[in-house]
Amino acid sequence: RPARRGAVDPRRTVREWLRRGGEPARLRRRARAERPRRVVLLVDVSGSMTPYADALLRFAHAAAHRGPAGSRAATEVFTIGTRLTRVTAALEHRDPEAALAAVAAAVPDWRGGTRLGEMLRAFLDRWGQRGMARGAVVVVLSDGWERGDPSLLAAQMRRLHRLAHRVVWANPRKGRPGYAPLAAGMAAALPSVDAFVEGHSVAALEHLAAVVRGAEDA
């Protein structure tokens, strides 16, 4: 951005000289302006995620309202299962209970099956390549159970990884003793995941928030 102090901005300086017909003019300067990255949350609401869906959607609501009004970065939220549903508008309610009620009314596939590969492809085809995922921190909140073809999920995760700044996967089952990512869907997705974290408790979600901010590693 233009500034009174900082590095010389060659482009603006040359434009000013040309505007003056080549006469010397004051050097134009610029300073770095930081803008928070977009965060995209993909929340699994399938049957296997029933014990965790409410807490994860509350986390999504808090993420959507982080920071002072007018200054927070864009946060987009989708639910995934057998359908892809954008619930960003529903979560605009400041009251969490009203927000979750609006999400419940908007989502047609609560406690259904899981087609992660198809849902991720639908997200990337409709939203991701149009810019929503480009340069964003994308968080998948899912246990990784996949009823579809794991190779499709692997391919779509590779697409996502090329577009996003960082891909985070929060799996509530990771917090269980002896857990290993052996489910076909989770195993297919992991090579394209930058941070693999838990998502089963308040402490785990606090850690997830820090990972999304870049304040902590997985």
29 and 48 within one domain: no
Percentage of the chain beyond pLDDT 70 is 95
In a domain, 187, yes or no: yes
The stretch 141-169 carries a mean pLDDT of 95
Q: How high does pLDDT run on average in the chain?
A: 89
pLDDT recorded at residue 2: 82
pLDDT recorded at residue 218: 59
The band of 70, judged by pLDDT with boundaries at 50, 70 and 90, is very low
172 and 66 within one domain: yes
117 and 90 within one domain: yes
Please check the confidence at residue 200 and state whether its pLDDT lies above 70.
Answer: yes
Give CA–CA dist 4/53, Å, rounded.
Answer: 50
> How far is CA 191 from each of CA 94, 137, 158, rounded to the nearest angstrom?
37, 17, 8
69 and 5 within one domain: no
pLDDT recorded at residue 72: 47
Hey, what amino acid is at 77?
A: V
Sequence-ordered list of residues with C-beta below 8 angstroms from that of 35, at least 6 positions apart, any chain:
73
Tens of pLDDT, residues 21-53? 877 777 888 888 777 889 999 999 999 999 999
Please check the confidence at residue 69 and state whether its pLDDT lies above 60.
Answer: no
Sequence-ordered list of residues with C-beta below 8 angstroms from that of 162, at least 6 positions apart, any chain:
none
Tens of pLDDT, residues 96-125? 999 999 999 999 999 988 899 999 999 999
Helix (H) or strand (E) holding 3: strand 2-3
Longest dimension (CA), the chain: 74
In a domain, 218, yes or no: no
**Structural domains in the chain (count):** 2
Task: Please check whether residue 59 is in contact with residue 102, taking contact to mean a CB–CB distance below 8 angstroms.
Answer: no
133 and 100 within one domain: yes
20 and 90 within one domain: no
The stretch 155-177 carries a mean pLDDT of 95
CATH number of the domain enclosing 148 = 3.40.50.410
Model's pTM, two decimal places? 0.82
pLDDT recorded at residue 71: 42
138 and 110 within one domain: yes
The band of 129, judged by pLDDT with boundaries at 50, 70 and 90, is confident
Task: Please check whether residue 27 is in contact with residue 65, taking contact to mean a CB–CB distance below 8 angstroms.
Answer: no
Sequence-ordered list of residues with C-beta below 8 angstroms from that of 200, at least 6 positions apart, any chain:
52, 172, 173, 174, 175, 176
Domain containing residue 79 = 39-213
